[in-house]
Amino acid sequence: MSFLINLIRNLLGSIIALVDFVTRPSKQKRSLAAQQQVESELKSMALYQFFACPFCIKTRRALHRLNLPIQTRNATKGSDYRVELEQQGGKTQVPCLRITEQGKDIWMYESGEIINYLEQRFGAVV
């Protein structure tokens, strides 16, 4: 029974991922210097995620819209990133944004919180 549930979950997740790919918003525009500064700051971040997770897709969609090429780490079963997420972050919930600042790691777990943080830090200045 759990095999069937996982199959359905993965199928639906893949469909959501396909729809996301087809309907992606345009990327935020920045000057070359501004984009290089953003990318420099992003080196201290990583997104732990699953490909077909709807909340991960929502978060990746925001990353695309904000033009934030953050490193993504697949935290599927058996992955070193899953072990890292559980041992260092405290749980295997995804999406999880790992932010390293001043030698300390911040583990942000909720998609809405992650997106709000990224929009505030890197969003367009109007």
| Total number of domains in the chain | 1
92: domain range? 2-122
- CA dist 36 and 40 (Å) reads 6
CATH number at residue 75: 3.40.30.10
Q: What is the pTM of this model?
A: 0.84
Helical H segments across the chain, by residue range: 2-22, 32-42, 54-65, 80-84, 111-122
Read off the pLDDT of residues 9-64 as tens digits, 9 standing for 90 and up. Answer: 777 778 877 777 778 788 899 999 999 999 999 999 999 999 989 999 999 999 99
- CA dist 92 and 77 (Å) reads 10
The per-residue pLDDT for 126 is 45
Q: Which residues contact 96 (CB under 8 A, 6 or more apart)?
A: 47, 48, 49, 75, 85, 89, 107, 108, 109
